[in-house]
Amino acid sequence: MPEKPIGIFDSGVGGLTVLKAIKKILPHENLIYFGDTARVPYGNRSPNTIIRYSVENARLLQKFNIKALVVACNTSSSYALEILKREFPFPVIGVVKPGAKAAVNKSKSKRIGIIGTEATIKSGAYRKAILSLDPFATVFEKACPLFVPLIEEGWLSGKVTELVAEKYLQDLMDKDIDTLVLGCTHYPLIKDTIKKLVKDKVTLIDSAMAVAEEVEKKLPHRRKSENEGVVRILVSDKTERFERIAKMIMGEDTLIEEVSIDSE
């Protein structure tokens, strides 16, 4: 059991921010990541489709004999987490609750903003999670559907990305929020652009490290070896774009393998 890998999936490249955080906090663990690049983005899909994709991704990773599953996709975590927990025998950890907890702990004014995909915002998952932790918090939400395509295109900075971010974030800034949850694992890749707009008035919550700490708590068996764990990255569609951004995030040349998804 200790040698089994931890499985991680996301709709595309964004979940690599979570992979990197887990690798940092659990360097000896074997990790296997799946990015569903052939079907990205998930944020404009119906709940039933999001659930189906999430189950298919989990089944794919189950074939690699994983000991835990991290749903490094806010959209999947919002709609499919409880179903995945019921259907699979290993611990399943999502990204919403750790991010919500970090936001509540950081916010002083209790005015918290959430940005995410259309599906994540429509689910109300972050709002529910935050209010369950602090019923006196005021939560403001904003769907940012263009962010994921921009990031997957590799447009992490520049005038176009800045203009889109300004358009999305102005409403939240007008609400005097002091904390902003990046409610999609793609969004940390444009953190510098967002930070330029919100300046020091707002604390940004990147839940990747909070998720890694949650994985550390819930991991059933630790790998005993003192050697660094093996990292494998799988995708449903191998592209130069993914390889370029993956190298930027991971800071190293990592072998990327293309695999087929079994759908029923």
Q: Residues at the annotated binding site?
A: 10-11, 42-43, 74-75, 185-186
Q: Alpha helix locations (H) across 136-232?
A: 147-152, 159-174, 191-198, 208-218
Q: Is 184 a catalytic residue?
A: yes
∠41-71-30 over CA atoms, to 5°?
A: 120
CA atoms of 6 and 22, how far apart (whole Å): 9
Of the candidates 184, 194, 233, 234, the residue annotated as catalytic is 184
Annotated binding-site residue numbers for substrate: 10-11, 42-43, 74-75, 185-186
Q: How far is CA 101 from CA 90, 95, 185, 224, in A?
A: 23, 10, 16, 30
User: Which member of 50, 58, 69, 73 is catalytic?
Assistant: 73
Q: Which two tokens stand for residue 28?
A: 């000896």
Neighbours of 172 (CB within 10 A): 20
Tokens 């005015």: give the residue.
111
Tokens 């997957």 -> residue: 152
| Cα(203)–Cα(118) distance, integer angstroms | 22
| Angle at CA of residue 190, ends 154 and 47, nearest 5° | 85
Residues involved in catalysis: 73, 184
